[in-house]
A and B are shown apart, each in its own frame.
Chain A
Amino acid sequence: MTPNPRPSFTHWLKSGNPWVWMTAGAVSLSLVMVFGLLLIIAINGLAHFWPARVAKVVQERADGTHETLLGEFVDAETVTAARVRDSGGRVPPDATVVKRLLLKVGNRDLGDSDFRWVPEPEITTPDYPAEAVVIERSEWGNFYGFITGLSEHGKALDGANVWAELAPRLQRGHDLREQIAHIEKREIGSVNYQLEQLRLRERVLGKAGDTAGQQALLAPRAVLEARFAALSDTLAGLNSEIKRDGLLVTTVTGVERTIPIEKIVRLYRPNQMRWREKIAHYCVKLGEFVSDEPREANTEGGVFPAIFGTVLMVMVMSVLVTPFGVIAAVYLREYAKPGPITSAIRIAVNNLAGVPSVVYGVFGFGFFVYFLGGNIDRLFFADKLPAPTFGTPGLLWSALTLALLTVPVVIVATEEGLARIPRAIREGSLALGATKAETLWRTVLPMATPAMMTGLILAVARAAGEVAPLMMVGVVKLAPSLPLDGDFPYLHLDRKFMHLGFHIFDVGFQSPNVEAARPLVYATALLLVVIIMSLNLAAIQIRNRLREKYNAADH
């Protein structure tokens, strides 16, 4: 930028070049932060599913005690020597910093915590025993140890080839568990739902004094109750059958345990696994993450209900927001008389996009849930009172609140799209004798569809990431049932639902075992980032293509 190849320092300073570099530095810093953040989420989120090797180390503490530990290294950090000494760790006298390793030792049921920070100087070189096994359980988290045998009805099986016998037994346990889950969730749930409906109808009839009607309900009720009893019996049979098998295991310190097969979700020996197996394992775990229900207070298992809840809520919101947003935009751009009032309204609508989302949450909570919902209950669901139907946070109110929150986005995008349509096209249509409505409907609006799409996508992206308002109008940490199921009316807009963003907040901040929950939160965050980034990129793509199209039409 300067003509002189080797300027003097003062000249260089005067040229302003260093300041230009300073501004360039700001951009570099922003870019490093942006991509660093995405990288952190991606690495932490994706690493969780990888079957890490199981290490066996001996920790020799400052007080001379020894302990053998078996587990996965999941994290490492350096800390100052003083901090390690404060917490009673052993530090070489001349060290200033010490590396600390986080070892996931699992076995939460055996007392101690399942994660251990161990200072590196205290441990021996890790050894990776080939027989070490990781057992994912449906309770108490992972088990790390060794398999010693099998048991049936509480008696150890002698001389059995453990690994050969294990696979069919695991499969059997898995099948039985599936059956139980199906009966518990689907069939009994459905019967219960129908019984509840009957009970309500009975109550209504009872209030009206219609005893004949009540009598008529007895027959279906008996059928349902018989069905319930039959299901309960089947369930009891399955439950006793699944309890047959047990796995005899021992921890690295020699504590013996029997793990019921029914509690085993997955079992593997990571130190023996080859790359192909590891990749397969990774894919299965990833699949489980997006398609399974959460376990253990949301710290294990999948996030399927949260994905489902997020998607369903966003879909209901889209159905609400698109027509109204488009109509408002068409009104503002095509019908409202241009003048100070219209531009004031336009500014107001624009600014509403900047109003904090928590304010919308407060409004939704007060107006939709209590005012509208309370009145709907009094008018239409009076027989269920005092148990609220719509007078409590739920899917519908969440979708409405977010629709209100995102309607400015749709309006602004649609208006922009309408403004971009070349005048020649409208004039052409009008000149051919079309009415204004026909011009709009047949020519202008179809051409503005990509703009509406952009608006809708941006609205969806914003809605999918919002959490603060939803905390007041409908999300819960664990919903007992999905808002969409096989019972009439299939879509239950009054139900509470789970949401990816709230899941992150809840598991990351309200969970009793943050260390265990952390990888899952990263994975959930990654999922949410991917969804939202793709939506935004799609919107940008559509917008860019749209611009090119109309730029071409203009010239």
Chain B
Amino acid sequence: MAYLTVTCATDAELTKNLPPVTDANLSDLAKAELSHRGWRMLKDRLFGLVTAIGGVTVILAILTIFFYLLYVVFPLLRGAALTTEWRSTAPLGAVRYLALNEYADVAFAVNDDGSYRFEPVKTGDALVSGNLVPRGERLTAAHGGQHAQATFALGFASGKVLLVRPSYVVNFTGNVRHTAPQLTYPAGVAPINAAPAGSVIKLVTAEASGEAITIIALTAANELYLTHLSRQPSLLEDDSTFEQHQVQIPLAEPLPAFLMMDVDQSELYVISATGHVTYYDIRNKEAPKLVQDLQVTAADTKITAAAFLSGGTSLLLGDNRGTVTQWIPVRDEQNNYRLTRIRRFTALSGSILAITPEYYRKGFAALDASGTLGLFHTTSEATLLIVPHLVNAPRALAYSAHADVLAMVDGTEHLTLRGVSNAHPEVSWRALWGKVWYEGRSQPEFIWQSSSASSDFEPKFSLTPLAFGTLKAAVYAMAFAIPVAILGALYTAYFMHARLRIYVKPSIEIMAALPTVILGFLAGLWLAPLIETHLIGVLGATLLLPLTFFTAALVWSRVPGLLRHRVPDGCEVLLLIPVVCVVLWLAMDLSQPLEQLWFGGNLPRWLTRELGLTYDQRNSLVVGIAMGFAVIPNIFSISEDAIFGVPRQLTTGSLALGATPWQTVTRVVLLTASPGIFSAIMIGLGRAVGETMIVLMSTGNTPIIDASIFTGFRALSANIAVEMPESEINSTHYRILFLAALVLFAVTFIFNTVAEVVRQRLRAKYGNL
């Protein structure tokens, strides 16, 4: 190479040192000669240039893979930020409740006196305002809903309650969107008796779904009433009537400060400022049941805010020390629910004034008394953003439906809107790799469940079970492949007859080219059912085969020399092929009678019954064998090369010193070739980790963490293949799948690089010998 470069350089210099070309000093022939030469040199340069550009482009294109994966994954690492800012020109009044419509272009505000306004944001639409309190009523309590279709409940001094819901009619003129806000009344325009007539309502909460409305009202006399309205089917669609009934709920709490009912109208929490929570099960509206009575704070801590997380399962409580805690009902073994604290967020320091959940995700925003804003996500237990002293004397806080705009009203009664960039709050190191306590679970767990039919589903993005599955597959595959491949390589390289070797080596190597989809198909549809019915045979064969080889060797050594010497050394393998066939056939044939005799005819069932082991038909044993099969050729080929490459003088020296061939192999050959064998194992491991089709087809693909050989798993690679086509582009799920691919890329790249470096060193060493 170096020599070549020098040649070229001289060639180039040659043209440089030529005298300047002029018409005067050249004959025509020479001129033609020279111009031809120049053209050739130019072509040479061009060729070099094109090759260099092409080569570098290809190499860059290959490297792009890594950078593109990184580029897609990167946004996962970015935290949240507040972006744009908009501030209303006029004050809105003494706002108590605030909500934003879907496009965040109208803010709905309800003031202390019951007046309301639809404040257009950034658009030129007209302000709509009025008062919610009907004539003759006096507003004594109000409550704003927490979910996408927020229902506002207004309680009056007459024991009546009015339900109001803002709604928005969107129409387009050209490409300009116009939003016409209006009020709807889920329970009718007339207030409903939510408590005996004449009692003053002190606290109220209500939820309305299409079919049923539940109103919880607390009177000044500390009596708690549940009013249930169920819609009666009627012939005329809009003329529906309600059947109403009311029960009184015995109240254990002397001084309730918050009434919290979830969106499904099945749980009710009565919370006092001192941190005393009474938890009622109100699924049966006729007989609400007290479930639990508990103290959720220390003695000197006061509850200052309460909200439900999206979905209505988790209760968020904020206290005067700036802590927000997340509580969920957890079911114990006796099927009793207990309200349990599963997370604490302590990033804020002042008394929590407002907690606003996101509409679709499990995140929330909180404001404390100092006006500090915190953005949090519960599943990932992440504090995404803290903005100190953002709002001066905050009054109200609201999230837009897509959690991209936050609305705040401050002490000056002005409305401020801030854009929120918070695309992937679900991801944190802990959410991806640690145990997470998900809603509806009784303890922290590793779960991968990326999608579900319901919209308020909590995505579970734990990569741990997938990584575990990948490792499990690799371990079982390697446990099968390493002994077979390396022993086989040893024999083929060192003991096998040279003429046999020419055929045996490629026969095993060519299996590396076998499409893995075929191996996976055979593993799933042929091997898995076979193993299920012949488990004893398969497990027995692994013991029986080495024993048979040993016996065969013993028998052969006792065979009369005349016959023995007719088979040349290094052809034992041919003698053993029928032996292997017979042993395998015997193992299969005896398997079932033995199963009938020892295990009542059904070993998998026996395993489950007697040992408590689950048996999946597509289990790790199947994968171990199938994937072992796929990596045997890789390991075999590279370690065979390494062993074969051990310099002859080493082995002949050892033999000359009186060592037996086997001693030479174990003390000299294996030792010398060990780096090569190591690199073979690394490459095999790399292949086992990234293999997709075999694990996809021969396991059940359930993401569980269970090391048992009789259960399945879900590997990272199979997970990508299954979920990638269905994931929404640029969603968190999409990026996490890219992350999984990046992890696979990095792991296999490291394995292969280590193997390659070791191999090159080895080659250099052999070269020296």
Interface residues of A (CB under 8 A from B): 1-2, 5-7, 9, 12, 14-35, 37, 40-41, 77-83, 85-86, 96-97, 323-325, 327-332, 334-336, 338, 345, 347-352, 354-363, 365-367, 370, 393, 404, 407-408, 411, 423, 426-427, 430, 435-438, 440-441, 458, 461-462, 464-468, 471-472, 501-502, 504-505, 508-509, 514, 518, 521, 525, 528-529, 532-533, 536-537, 540
Contact = CB atoms under 8 A, between A and B. Distances in A.
B524 A461 contact: no
A17 B717 contact: no
Contact of A31 (B508, B548, B737, B752): B508
B128 interface: no
Chain B contact-residue range equals 35 or more
Contact of B65 (A79, A404, A411, A462): A404
Interface in B658-697: 660-663, 665-666, 683, 686-687, 689-693, 696-697
Interface centre among A336, A458, A537 (most CB of B within 10 A): A336
A29 B47 contact: no
Closest 9 CB pairs of A and B: A82-B601, A16-B662, A331-B55, A356-B690, A465-B515, A437-B47, A327-B54, A21-B553, A25-B549
Nearest to B565: A5
A20 B662 contact: yes
30 contacts: A5-B561, A23-B487, A24-B491, A24-B572, A25-B548, A25-B579, A26-B488, A32-B581, A79-B592, A82-B596, A86-B602, A327-B54, A328-B58, A331-B56, A348-B753, A356-B690, A356-B692, A356-B717, A359-B741, A359-B748, A361-B721, A362-B720, A362-B741, A363-B65, A435-B41, A437-B47, A465-B515, A521-B521, A529-B514, A537-B510
Given A23-B487, A540-B510, 5 more contacts: A26-B485, A80-B602, A358-B717, A365-B724, A437-B47
Contacts of B549: 18, 21-22, 24-25
A77 B601 CA distance: 15
A81 B596 contact: yes
B188 interface: no
Given A27-B573, A461-B513, A501-B515, A438 B44 contact: yes
B558 interface: yes
A467 B694 CA distance: 11
B55 A330 contact: yes
A340 to B, nearest CB: 12
Contact of B636 (A25, A30, A348, A518): A30
Nearest to A323: B54
A376 to B, nearest CB: 16
B593 A96 contact: yes
B647 interface: no
Contacts of A7: 557
Contacts of A86: 602
A81 B601 contact: yes
Given A325-B58, A528-B515, A354 B687 contact: yes
Interface string B192-217: 00000000000000000000000000
B299 interface: no
A22 B521 contact: no
A224 B64 CA distance: 47
Given A356-B689, A436-B4, A468-B692, A27 B496 contact: yes
Contacts of A338: 1-2
A548 B661 CA distance: 32
A82 B517 contact: no
B749 interface: yes
B21 interface: no
B546 interface: yes
Contact of B483 (A26, A466, A504, A509): A26
Contacts of A96: 592-593, 596-597, 601
Contacts of A359: 65, 69, 690, 741, 744-745, 748
Contacts of B511: 34, 37
A430 B4 contact: yes
B693 to A, nearest CB: 5
B629 interface: yes
A436 B515 contact: no
A16 B491 CA distance: 13
Interface in B57-76: 57-59, 61-65, 68-69, 72
Given A32-B581, A41-B522, A328-B58, A466 B515 contact: yes
Contacts of B515: 464-467, 501, 528-529, 532
A514 B529 CA distance: 13
Contact of A335 (B52, B507, B666): B52
A508 B524 CA distance: 9
Interface majority SS on A: helix, strand, loop or mixed?
Answer: helix
Interface string B1-36: 111100110010000000000000000000000000
Given A21-B576, A361-B724, A327 B506 contact: no
A418 B769 CA distance: 26
Interface in B254-277: none
A82 B741 contact: no
B521 A82 contact: no
B552 interface: yes
B81 interface: no
A349 B752 CA distance: 11
Contacts of A335: 48, 51-52, 55
A370 B737 contact: no
Nearest to B68: A367
A329 B55 CA distance: 7
Contact of B697 (A16, A82, A509): A509
Contacts of A22: 487, 546, 549-550, 553
Contacts of B54: 323-324, 327-328, 331
Interface in B732-769: 737-738, 741, 744-745, 748-749, 751-753, 756-757
Contacts of A345: 59
B697 A505 contact: yes
A164 B187 CA distance: 79
Nearest to A439: B4
B521 A533 contact: no
B725 interface: yes
A503 to B, nearest CB: 9
B573 A472 contact: no
A502 to B, nearest CB: 8
Contact of B69 (A14, A21, A336, A363): A363
B557 to A, nearest CB: 5
A513 B514 CA distance: 26
Contacts of A441: 47
B63 A97 contact: no
A349 B59 contact: yes
A508 B11 contact: no
Nearest to A499: B517
B62 A349 contact: yes
A44 B660 CA distance: 47
Given A29-B545, A37-B522, A332 B69 contact: no
B69 A435 contact: no
A82 B55 CA distance: 66
A324 B483 contact: no
Nearest to A435: B44
Contacts of A2: 557
Contacts of A467: 515-517, 692-693
A363 to B, nearest CB: 5
B47 A440 contact: yes
Contacts of B46: 437
B517 A501 contact: yes
B595 interface: yes
Contact of B525 (A426, A458, A521): A521
Interface in B559-586: 561, 569, 572-573, 576-577, 579-581, 584
Report which residue of B553, B629, B751 has the largest number of chain A beta carbons within 10 angstroms of its beta carbon: B553
A1 B748 contact: no
Contacts of B347: none
A462 B1 CA distance: 32
Contacts of A438: 40, 43-44
